Amino acid sequence: MRVSEIFYSLQGEGFLAGVPSVFVRLAGCPLRCRWCDTKYAWDEVAGTRYSVEKIVQTVQQNRSRFVVVTGGEPMISPDLPQLVQKLKASGKHITIETAGIAFIPELGCDLMSISPKLSNSTPDEPELAAVHEDSRLDIAVLRELIDNCEYQLKFVVDSQADLPEIQQTLKEIGNVDSAKVMLMPQAATRNELLAKSPMVAQICEQTGLAFSQRLQILLYDGQRAK
Ligand code: SF4
């Protein structure tokens, strides 16, 4: 597998925010979101080649029971099922962080943390924008993920204007437990996070959806957490 980095930190987002976890960041993502904070993990060949066994061994060097497999986009990695199986066998709780663009049956993770990409993520470059728009949202895949996995849905909110698109996306997916939906501010730095948090908090109060912290930005201010 192509690994961008393996490190120990606090889970920054979602219902498990604050839980110490080992992060396995796989390389490769086709989406190229405008505000992506892990652009260094876009290119698959930028990662170092690891066997599944070596990843598990590296994860086990840390006592944490919680493992977050992230990216890039981990759900496009052909060896992901084998990695999840081996991590589960070693007693780990596994969260997969995904944009929700691919479904793998019977994956066996503990939490599918899905962050569907809204139009606010579309890159400015026309060529990248075309690829992005083509693959950023697949409602059928999102339905399969939420119907078959323990999940949370996290939307990145750039402005108040994103709310109708979020509501439309939830309506199209259907059958979403609103208690599992979270909104989080679009931000690359601590200052941006603090500036946008009141706006997102207001939307959360208005809709009854939960606010997701982004501890990695609050703590490391846009620097890599390692
Ligand atoms: S899906 Fe995630 S990793 Fe891929 S470009 Fe968008 S934010 Fe970055």
**Torsional sign, CA 62, 64, 65, 66:** negative
| 33 CA to centre of ligand 1 in angstroms | 5
Q: Is the pLDDT of residue 15 over 60?
A: yes
Q: How far apart are the first and last CA of the chain?
A: 21
Residue pLDDT, tens place only, 69-113 = 999 999 999 999 999 999 999 999 999 999 999 999 999 999 999
> What CA–CA distance (Å, rounded) separates 83 from 52?
6
- Average pLDDT of the segment spanning 183-203: 97
Identity (one letter) of the amino acid at 69? V
User: Per-residue pLDDT tens for 139-173?
Assistant: 999 999 999 999 999 999 999 999 999 999 999 99
Per-residue pLDDT at 46 = 83
Q: State the pLDDT confidence band at 225, using cuts at 50, 70 and 90.
A: low
Mutate to test the pocket of ligand 1, among 2, 75, 117, 122 (most ligand atoms within 8 A of CB): 117
Q: How far is the CA of 97 from the centre of ligand 1 (A)?
A: 10
Fill in the DSSP letter of residue 194. Answer: H
- Mutation probe of ligand 1 site: the residue of 13, 25, 33, 118 with most atoms within 8 A of C-beta: 33
Mean pLDDT of the chain: 96
CA of 39, closest atom in ligand 1: 8
Nearest-angstrom CA–CA distance, 192 and 144: 34
pLDDT at 226: 53
Cα(25) to centroid(ligand 1), Å: 12
Mean pLDDT of 189-205: 97
- 108-129 as b/e, with b when 16 or more CB fall inside 10 Å? ebbbbbbbbbbebbbbeeeebe
Percent of the chain exceeding pLDDT 70 equals 99
**Chain-centre distance of CA 1, in angstroms?**
19
Ligand 1 residue neighbourhood (C-beta within 6 Å): 29, 31-33, 36, 38, 71-73, 99
